Amino acid sequence: VRLVLIGSCRNDEDRARVKDMQDLSKHLAVDENVEFKLNVPYNEMTREFQLGTIGLHTMWNEHFGISVVEGMAAGLVMVAHDSGGP
């Protein structure tokens, strides 16, 4: 099993959050199965979607959630919480 986390870092707070997650994956001894991909080009993101099985949308209270639509278009089973949207 492999977990690929794809996202962007906008500022130092985001970078610190990613560092915390990387440190946690090492502490839990799962870092060999967790990959962090930051600020990747769109074509690389869609390639990862095509290789995946499940997509996890974690943005709380997002008004639309384009990544949910992108994941569904790639055939992923999407998991998201019940917040945001119309």
Q: Where are the domains of the chain?
A: 1-39, 41-86
Q: Report the 10 Å Cβ neighbour count for 49.
A: 19
pLDDT tens for each residue of 8-59: 999 999 999 999 999 999 999 999 999 999 999 999 999 999 999 999 988 8
Q: Residue 53 contacts by C-beta under 8 Å, 6 or more apart in sequence? A: 76, 77
Predicted local distance difference test score (pLDDT) of residue 65: 79
The residue with greater pLDDT, 38 or 64, is: 38
- Strand stretches in the chain, DSSP E: 3-7, 34-38, 54-57, 77-80
pTM for this structure? Answer: 0.81
Predicted local distance difference test score (pLDDT) of residue 37: 97
Q: Which phi-psi region, left, alpha or beta, contains residue 39 (left: φ > 0; alpha: ψ -120 to 50)?
A: left
CA 6 to CA 21: how far, in whole Å? 13
